[in-house]
Amino acid sequence: RLELRCERDGAGAELRLDAHPALSVSRAALLPPPGGPGDAAGQALPVESRPFASYGSALHIGLPQPPRAGQLLTLLIDYEAGEGPGVCWLTPEQTAGKQKPYMYTQGQAVLNRSFFPCFDTPSVKFTYSATVKVPEGFTAVMSATSWEKQKDNTFVFKMSQPIPSYLIALVVGDIVSAEVGPRSRVWAEPCLIEAAKKEYDGVIEEFLAVGEKLFGPYVWGRYDILFMPPSFPFGGMENPCLTFVTPCLLAGDRSLVDVIIHEISHSWFGNLVTNATWGEFWLNEGFTMYAQRRISTEVYGLPYTCLEAATGRALLRQHMDTTGEDHPLNKLRVVIEPGFCLFLGVNPDDTYNETPYEKGYCFVSYLAHLVGDQSKFDAFLQAYVNRFKFQSITADDTLEFFLEYFPELKEKGVDSIPGQCGAILAREPCFADQHPPVSEPLCPRWTLCMFVCFTGDAAAASPGSNGGGLALASWDQALAQAWARLLPSLSAAVPRVQCHCSIPCPVPLLHALSGQGQGDAGGVVLGVGSSWDSTPWSCGLGCNSPLSPQGKQKYTLPLYRAMWGGSEAARALAMETFSATAPQLHVNVQNYVKKILGLGVAE
């Protein structure tokens, strides 16, 4: 049921909604006003599905007459959602418990049109309510500010704050919860709940409190985390009130809890202040990366944050080298038009890469550099959130507010500085074609870089002593997190680590990494890239490997690429592993792996 208000006259007698061929619409009707005359079942309306783009269709609904400005309309649409890209149906084998099926929805970027007919654009925000009846033995949860369980295993949800369509999320499965803070709980399958509680008990509140100090009140009420089944292909999804995360974050030593800082930061940047179009996805992710690193600095200190940011910059450089500086999707402002998408196959989901995250972060850092005072820029971020909360905005809105907030910068002419960043502030058509000229301070991160290099050198000196005495589990939390962040960059430098110095990537170090049991993909890629032949590939390529219990594509795809580009033994192991674990993977990840291995991919 859609409750709509006509914004202006001249809208015409037709409503167009985003939909998907996987939706089967049986009826549309215009309901009478509450308490007014008319058939309670409503007036039947003509409805037709028409092609729109590669990622969806357009649902055309005829109205009796053009509505007047300010007129309220209530439409009822009867439909079924099948196997669309935004509605994921998992078999018991794809869950952690292996006992019951599971379903979840994933809306970002334009997938919720296969869940329900809607205005599937971040430029439109709305409140919602839902009533969900599920079989006995199952629980339903949604991204909602309130929920209650009624009789007959029926759950009622309400989101009282306006959100864009992509943030509506539903999960139905064999899940339970445990409190981990005054306004937080963890959700997971029963076999994972104790590990989730132990890992995150008391952690989330600290991150939320620092975020509130920096960016203003947390407006969403509760902040819960749902640990998804192992086949969940993403690291996290910032659904308000209920963040979805990969079970890979259950490391057992709290070394990965900081990953949740990114999702918490979306509570202000993305969920509260939202990019109006997916062509400016950096407004969500660039500001979130900056907010994440501000919180990390407060919690873990500047050296850790600088190393983490330097690693992110290296990943951006690697991405640019692979795809090309001039690739259209490597700009901060990406041109996305329906006709363009329809004929050339460009999908808003394709904007998901390192560019909006790390190049976006560089640009927000550049704005902070122009201000020159961290406390003043922090105050700007609070004012920015307060000014645009519950709105969807463009980059022009952001930059105009920035110059309005700092008139002294406007007077200095920063909006006309020659070069790329000046072009951004002047809002010229050529928007961020190159990296913003921002680099992190070297001195704080050098301490941790030297520690990592020294540790590797010590391991190389004592090959017979279990990695030269290297005991990753004994590192303090910040160093463990920094190491986890550094591994992807090291894998690009095999067989030598490049961290302002050049040292061998020693086999004992790889053995030490493999012995931690955390299944970090970076260590495995290092091993494959270094042609490390350990039988049975104890760094994680066997039956008990990171490829076996999890389906996160950020781990899975680099591992398969590394194996397929390695020795004959590695290629054979890739085929063997995929054959054994494919049913546990999300269908999209299965198809990505098939492409890597040169196997046929079904449409």
CATH code, domain carrying 320: 1.10.390.10
Of 425, 454, 474, the position where a domain reaches its end is: 425
Of 395-399, 409-413, 476-480, the one with minimum mean pLDDT is: 476-480
Asked if 482 contacts 308 with a C-beta cutoff of 8 angstroms, the reply is yes
pLDDT score at 371: 93
Cα separation, 95 vs 101, in Å, equals 7
Q: Is 151 annotated as a binding residue?
A: no
Q: What is the dihedral of CA 545, 551, 552, 556, to 10 degrees?
A: 60
Alpha helices, DSSP H, located in 158-228? 193-200, 204-215
In a domain, 437, yes or no: no
Asked if residue 106 belongs to a known ligand binding site, the reply is: yes
Contact 332, 251 (CB under 8 A): no
d(CA 226, CA 172): 12
Domain-embedded: residue 56: yes
pLDDT higher at 315 or 20: 20
Q: How confident is the model at residue 2 (pLDDT cuts 50, 70, 90)?
A: very high
Residues 2-6 have a mean pLDDT of 95
Domain residues for the domain of 184 are: 84-267
Cα gap 113→20, rounded to integer Å: 6
pTM of the entire predicted model? 0.85
**pLDDT at position 341 over 70:** no
Where among 425, 458, 475 does a domain terminate? 425
Q: Are residues 138 and 194 in the same domain?
A: yes
| Residue 261, in any domain of the structure | yes
Asked if 279 and 252 sit in the same domain, the reply is: no
pLDDT at 337: 64
Q: What is the mean pLDDT of the chain?
A: 81
Residue 323 pLDDT grade (very low, low, confident, very high; cuts 50, 70, 90) = confident
Whether 324 and 188 share a structural domain? no
Confidence of residue 446 (pLDDT cuts 50, 70, 90): very low
Catalytic residues: 263, 357
Three-point CA angle 99, 104, 108, nearest 5°: 150
Count of CB atoms within 10 A of residue 45's CB? 18
pLDDT at 350: 78
- Is position 292 annotated in a ligand binding site? no
Question: 129 lies in a domain?
Answer: yes
> 552-575: string of b/e by CB count within 10 Å (b at 16+)?
bbebbbbbbbbbbebeeebeebbe
For 83-92, 190-199, 245-254, 462-471, which range has the lowest pLDDT when averaged over its residues? 462-471
Strand-pair category, 224-227 with 242-245 = parallel
- Which has the higher per-residue pLDDT, 577 or 519? 577
Q: Is the pLDDT of residue 312 over 90?
A: no
Whether the per-residue pLDDT at 197 is higher than 60: the answer is yes
pLDDT of 534 > 80? The answer is: no
CATH number at residue 218: 3.30.2010.30
**Residue 420 labeled ligand binder:** no
Residues 2, 97, single domain; the answer is no
Band of residue 430 on the pLDDT scale cut at 50, 70, 90: very low
**Residue 225 or residue 452, greater confidence:** 225
Averaged pLDDT for residues 403-429: 70
pLDDT digits (tens, 9 = 90+) for 285-295: 999 999 999 99
Taking the C-alpha atoms of residue 106 and residue 588, their distance in angstroms, rounded to an integer, is 13
- Band of pLDDT at residue 547, cut at 50, 70 and 90: low
Q: Is the pLDDT of residue 416 over 90?
A: no
pLDDT at 210: 98
Tell whether 456 is covered by a domain: no
- 233 marked as binding residue: yes
Per the annotation, does 108 bind a ligand?
Answer: yes
- Domain membership flag for residue 463: no
Query: Are residues 174 and 304 both part of a single domain?
Result: no
**Which of 235, 267, 299 delimits the end of a domain?**
267
Residues 237-274 as b/e (b if ≥16 CB within 10 A, e otherwise) read: bbbbbbbbbbbbbbbeebbbbbbbbbbbbbbbbbbbbb
Say whether both 138 and 227 belong to one domain: yes
| Peptide bond just before 117 cis, omega within 30 deg | no
What percent of the chain is predicted at pLDDT more than 70?
Answer: 75
Can you spell out the DSSP letters for 276-337? Answer: SSGGGTHHHHHHHHHHHHHHHHHHH-HHHHHHHHHHHHHHHHHHHHHH-TT-GGGSSS----
The pLDDT value recorded for residue 339 is 45
Number of domains within the chain:
4
- The model's confidence at residue 542, banded by pLDDT at 50, 70 and 90, is very low
153: left (phi over 0), alpha (psi -120 to 50) or beta: left
Same domain, 146 and 228: yes
Residues 218 and 280 in one domain: no
pLDDT at 408 over 80: yes
Answer yes or no: do 394 and 290 share one domain: yes
Task: Check the CA dihedral 21-24-29-30 and report its sign.
Answer: negative
Q: What is the pLDDT of residue 104?
A: 96
Q: How far apart are CA 278 and CA 121, in angstroms?
A: 8
Ramachandran region of residue 252, left (φ > 0), alpha (ψ -120 to 50) or beta?
Answer: left
Q: How far apart are CA 88 and CA 140, in angstroms?
A: 14
- The reply to whether 115 and 214 lie within a common domain is yes
Is 100 known as a binding-site position? no
* pLDDT given at position 508: 46
Cis peptide before 109 (omega within 30 of 0): yes
- Closest by CA position to 116, among listed 72, 172, 56, 163: 56
- Per-residue pLDDT tens over the stretch 17-66: 999 999 999 999 999 987 777 777 889 999 999 999 888 999 999 999 99
Higher pLDDT, 360 or 491: 360
Q: Which two tokens stand for residue 273?
A: 């202040």
pLDDT of residue 231: 84
Tell whether 288 and 263 lie within a shared domain: no
Q: Do residues 413 and 297 share a domain?
A: yes
3-class secondary-structure state, position 130: strand
Give the pLDDT of residue 583. 79
- Residue among 288, 253, 249, 250 at smallest CA distance from 268: 288
Per the domain annotation, does 508 fall within a domain?
Answer: no
pLDDT band per the 50, 70, 90 thresholds, residue 545? low
Query: 9 lies in a domain?
Result: yes
